[in-house]
Each structure stands twice: as C-alpha cells, then as structure tokens.
Amino acid sequence: MRRSLVIALVTLLAVMLGAAPVLAGGEEIGKVGAWRLRDTASKPGVTCYYDASTKLLTSMFIRAPKVWARDVTTSRDRQKVGWRYFIKELEGPESVRTVYKSPIMTARAYDDQPAAFQGVRHAPTIDRNSDPHYVAVKLFWYRNGSIEGKTLQQQLEHYQATIEGSGVMQPVTGAFGCPGGYEDW
C-alpha cells in the first residue's frame, strides 16, 4: 500500500509541475494498478522507421508500458497483467480506423516490480499516400484468469522518425503519428 501512496503523490506532484509521466485523455475502467507509459517529447513512445530509397514507412517501434500489480494487501501482491497496441489511421478530422490490433501480451507483475514487457517493432502495410498512423495502447489487470473490466486505454502522443540505418532521430512535426512517407515530416 505504501508504494501506491508514493506513486500517487509523485504523479500528483508531476501533474502540478507539468511533467506527468502519463498522458491525459486516457480511458480508465475499473480499479487498475500502477502504470507508466514513457511518452514524452524527449522519450517518444513510438519511433517511425523509413526506407531511404522508397521514402516509405517500413515499421514502427512501440515502447512497452510499465505495469504493476494492484497493491491491495499489506504483503507483496502479484497479479497477471497485459497490454496490447492498436495502429490507427486518421481518415479526416473526425474519422479514425483501426488498421491493426495486436494480441494481448501478458506477464506476471508485483506491486513493487513491473511486468517484464518488451517494446514491439511492427511492420504495417501502409500506402505511401495514406493518412498518418498513430498508436494507442490498452492495459489489462486480471483476476482469476479473467480481465474483469480492469482496463486502461491510452493514445500515444509523441513520435520520432528515422531513416533505417542512419541512427539519426528527429521528432515528427506537422503530423500526428507516423506519416506514410518521410518527406511529410
């Protein structure tokens, strides 16, 4: 329980100082454990990779979230947790289409140690002239093998781009998400 109090206080302080480790605009359903998405301007949640010759988006690397078990007892709690990501395409100012939904990745977490999730590199099939693609993640907390409504969905807001093999990263500006071609950023 002490860890939850510390996380709540640190998060509150971060929000008050404008440096919150999580994003605004997420959807939270049910009681969830501690979590963190590293998605800031200095550490974007998604990296867009482009081919130097075709200038097309070849893949997207999505950072894994940190997800802890719910802290509900005075002893060390453990819990099965999970996450999945969605690749979405903006089809206009008010239209969004989900183009890919990953399987749910699960692991065991503790109230003092997050699950050992790894980031994922996804190679979407994207038309060069398509609208930008963005990523949303959904987090899950299980009880007795079932999700039981304890979920949280969050859209990632910070993207960086690179040409395959160049090692040079730059923020994506002028578009939300990963544009289909790199001259668009």
* pLDDT for res 140: 92
What is the residue whose two structure tokens read 């894994």? 64
* pLDDT for res 147: 81
pLDDT, one tens digit for every residue, the chain (185 residues): 444 433 343 333 333 333 333 333 344 555 788 899 888 888 889 988 888 888 788 888 999 999 999 988 999 999 999 999 998 887 777 788 888 899 999 999 999 999 999 999 998 776 655 677 889 999 999 988 788 666 788 888 888 888 887 777 777 765 677 777 666 44
* pLDDT for res 162: 85
* pLDDT for res 19: 31
* pLDDT for res 80: 94
* 126: nearest Cα among 175, 91, 89: 89
* pLDDT for res 28: 52
- Supply 120's token pair: 């994922």
Query: In angstroms, what CA-CA distances link 112 with 70, 72, 104?
Result: 10, 12, 22
All domains of the chain in start order, with CATH? 22-184 (2.60.40)
